[in-house]
């Protein structure tokens, strides 16, 4: 696997290196996510909620470090200043507890008929985020997918696709 160097656009300083998966390597990543899905999908909703809350608390504990990395990478500070994280909002951490069978009543059914809606994880969620606001965009996608019992493959966008193509 090759790597991609992440630099500070203002200084040219290297921030880090990250994996740069080539298209022929992507199949192995999908296979690994599918294997993880088979286990994650059967995890208890309460467990999924606890994992999401732990992720929220971990991000909160590292907020200054994450802010500094985001500012160095793309000059944006906005998303790290928000008080509510998508990992904690009801759309994520609270969701697993509400996903089991839910009564659904509709006026089309005769009295005494009760429908129950059951939700099931559908598989691997392949998520693509834009270069701007990387933390906010990723957590808005990752949280709900994990809450629903899906595994996740995240493809982060390069800050400058033209730069990436030049380095290949």
Tell me what percent of the residues of the chain surpass a pLDDT of 70. 70
Q: State pLDDT tens for residues 87-134.
A: 554 445 556 555 555 555 556 667 777 777 777 899 999 998 877 777
Whether 112 is covered by a domain: the verdict is no
Whether 68 is covered by a domain: the verdict is yes
Q: Which residues span the domain enclosing 42?
A: 27-97+124-168
Quote the pTM value: 0.71
Whether 21 is covered by a domain: the verdict is no
DSSP string, 84-137: S-TTTSTTTTTGGGG-S-EEE--TTSPTT--EEE-----SEEEEEE-SSSHHHH
Q: What is the pLDDT of residue 161?
A: 44
Whether 1 is covered by a domain: the verdict is no
How many structural domains are present in the chain? 1
**CATH code of the domain containing 66:** 3.40.605.10
């Amino acid at each position: 696997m090759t790597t991609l160097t992440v630099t500070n656009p203002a200084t040219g300083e290297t921030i880090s290196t990250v994996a740069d998966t080539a298209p022929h390597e992507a199949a192995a990543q999908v296979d690994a996510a599918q294997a993880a899905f088979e286990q994650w999908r059967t995890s208890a909703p309460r467990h999924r909620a606890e994992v999401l809350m732990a992720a929220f608390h971990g991000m909160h504990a590292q907020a200054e470090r994450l802010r500094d990395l985001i500012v160095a990478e793309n000059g944006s500070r906005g998303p790290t200043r928000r008080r509510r994280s998508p990992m904690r909002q009801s759309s994520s951490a609270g969701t697993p507890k509400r996903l089991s069978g839910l009564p659904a009543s509709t006026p089309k059914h005769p009295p005494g008929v009760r429908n129950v809606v059951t939700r099931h994880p559908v598989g691997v969620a392949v998520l693509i985020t834009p270069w701007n606001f990387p933390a906010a965009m990723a957590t808005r996608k990752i949280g709900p997918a994990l809450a629903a019992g899906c595994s996740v493959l995240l493809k982060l966008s390069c800050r400058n696709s033209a730069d990436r193509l030049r380095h290949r």
